[in-house]
């Protein structure tokens, strides 16, 4: 582990849905970048940009994941619980970003550790659960894969040129 790696991706976290796994890896990368910025005490503007990116990318990923579950006809009770987990995570990130931006409070290692453990648990338990359910139901995610890839490409194109969306190193 080098000084830029706080959260190491493990193949045990793979859901078997390549686009979801790639997006999860990107979230892990953003958390690693945030950790590095805090450890290195980088300037406030960089930390704000990383937090903004984390919130933005997380919302995009969760939206795409929820569309996949809806398209696949995932169990409505499980889907509602999954959505609630997503909302709670976004709220936690948004609160940390607001405290940093508005109140000038630094991002603590406590919040970074919380985000890491929450994401790891969510992937290993909740996301793997839906992945198994989709496989068992014989759901093919090809159409969703095309939709997700197009959504990510469109997101990148509509992002202002000065901001390289989720490219922070």
5 occurs within a structural domain: no
Helices (H), the chain: 18-39, 44-71, 76-102, 109-121, 128-136, 142-158
Looking up residue 109, the CATH number of its domain turns out to be 1.20.120.50
* CA 21, chain centre distance (Å): 10
97 occurs within a structural domain: yes
116 occurs within a structural domain: yes
2 occurs within a structural domain: no
pLDDT digits (tens, 9 = 90+) for 39-95: 988 888 888 888 888 888 999 999 999 998 998 889 999 999 999 999 999 998 888
- Pick the residue with more confidence: 164 or 102? 102
Looking at the 3D structure of the chain, how many domains does it have? 1
| pLDDT of residue 168 exceeding 50 | no
What band does 169 get if pLDDT is binned at 50, 70 and 90? very low
88 occurs within a structural domain: yes
What are the angstrom distances between the C-alpha of 93 and each of 1, 37, 59, 120?
Answer: 25, 16, 10, 15
pLDDT at 93: 86
51 occurs within a structural domain: yes
pLDDT at 125: 94
- Pick the residue with more confidence: 69 or 4? 69
Average pLDDT, the chain: 84
pLDDT at 104: 72
163 occurs within a structural domain: no
169 occurs within a structural domain: no
pLDDT at 165: 45
Contact, 71 vs 91, CB < 8 A? no
pLDDT at 166: 46
pLDDT at 61: 93
Range of the domain at 147: 16-158
Cα 137 from Cα 15, distance rounded (Å): 15
């Amino acid at each position: 582990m080098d000084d830029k790696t706080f959260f190491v991706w493990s193949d045990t976290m793979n859901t078997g849905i390549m686009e979801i796994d790639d997006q999860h890896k990107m979230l892990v990368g953003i958390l690693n970048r945030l950790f590095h910025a805090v450890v290195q005490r980088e300037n406030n503007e960089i930390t704000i940009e990383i937090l903004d990116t984390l919130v933005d990318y997380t919302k995009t990923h969760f939206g795409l994941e929820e569309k996949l579950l809806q398209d696949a006809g995932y169990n409505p009770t499980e889907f509602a619980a999954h959505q609630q987990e997503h909302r709670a995570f976004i709220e936690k990130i948004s609160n940390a970003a607001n405290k940093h931006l508005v109140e000038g409070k630094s991002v603590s290692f406590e919040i970074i550790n919380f985000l890491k453990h929450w994401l790891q648990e969510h992937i290993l338990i909740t996301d793997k659960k839906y992945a198994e359910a989709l496989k068992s139901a014989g759901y093919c995610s090809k159409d969703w894969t095309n939709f997700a890839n197009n959504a990510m490409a469109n997101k990148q194109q509509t992002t202002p040129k000065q901001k390289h969306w989720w490219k922070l190193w």
